[in-house]
Amino acid sequence: MQDLLYFIQQLINGLTIGSTYALIAIGYTMVYGIIGMINFAHGEIYMIGAYTALIAITGLAALGIAWLPLVLIVALICAMIVSSSMGWAVERVAYRPVRGKHRLIPLISAIGMSIFLQNYVHLAQGSRNIGFPALIEGGFRFGAEDSFQTSITYMQITIFATTLVCMTILSLFISRSRIGRACRAVSQDLGMANLLGIDTNRIISATFVIGAALAAVAGLLLGMYYGSIDPLFGFIAGLKAFTAAVLGGIGSIPGAMLGGLILGVAESMTSGYLSGEYKDVVSFGLLILILLFKPTGLLGKPEVEKI
């Protein structure tokens, strides 16, 4: 019984962290799906989302507004707007001018963007980590008083619920809406979409904006979950989300969701049963294994060679 509760606890922790990885991974996978390149500044966009949310929360507190749903919604909207603008700007500055050039060039310019944004936040907000108020506290406990208890906090429930809502909206948007339809067309054959009169530049901008907005959601959620943020906050999360995207099959949106959850659960199981120090070893080891045996990732489609 106790073992089972312990297992369930690891599962809950893993799914929580995994669903935020999935939110960030969407941004990598959508951009890759459309222009075939990795947005290396995506982790920074997520970090800026977390900072914006924190600034909004602090601002509201200074104004004396403390009604929780309002605070959360305002923080979320501010974070999404700022991050989306950043995502849009990254595409305009680091990708569009060098599109169609050698593949290494946008890679380098994106890394440059990432360094710039990181250092900008260092300058503007200081390099020390800043406490993020835990706005959502408390939770449920299961199991006997005198032995191991499984706990699920309201924060974890919020993370699940928010991720679920975001993923549902995204799926509907991609499958039903006019812009979603154009996104799929552009990702399959950009040249043909162009010929059919689709404004491919706008669609490419839209994918950066959507990915950035979801990263901002993750930034707010993880900021509250961890309780502190710093300018390097985006680096490791970005790396993990990138791993999740590759694990699930880069370019595939369901793949990014699945990859995020698998990675999160794998990490928390390692922390729970082995040692916390091994969790990165396991997640990146998993990536190497997947790449060895299924290079296109779990749900990725093999690239058809076009002649």
List contacts with other proteins (CB under 8 A). 177-179, 181-182, 184-185, 188-189, 191-200, 307
- CA neighbours closer than 13 Å in the CB half-sphere of residue 18: 25
- Please spell the DSSP secondary structure of 254-271, one letter per residue: HHHHHHHHHHHHHHHHHH
16: nearest Cα among 260, 281, 285, 275:
260
DSSP 189: -
Shortest spacing between CB 193 and other proteins, in angstroms: 8
141 has which bridge partners? 151
Min dist CB 109 to other proteins, Å, is 23
Closest CB to other proteins among 49 and 180?
180
Residue placing its CB nearer to other proteins in the complex, 34 or 237: 34
Minimum distance from residue 210 beta carbon to other proteins (Å)? 11
Tokens 């979950």 correspond to what residue? 225
Q: Which is nearer to other proteins, 184 or 294 (CB)?
A: 184
Distance in angstroms (rounded) separating the CA atoms of residues 92 and 87: 9
For the CB of residue 176, give the shortest distance to other proteins in the complex, in Å.
10
Q: Which is nearer to other proteins, 64 or 302 (CB)?
A: 302
**Measured between alpha carbons, how far is 258 from 19 in angstroms, rounded to an integer?**
9
Query: C-beta of 306: minimal distance to other proteins in Å?
Result: 9
Q: Could you tell me which of 2, 3, 6, 15 has the C-alpha nearest to residue 260?
A: 15
Q: Which CB, 193 or 266, lies closer to other proteins?
A: 193
Q: How far apart are CA 214 and CA 272, in angstroms?
A: 29
Kindly state the smallest distance separating residue 258's Cβ from other proteins, in Å: 18
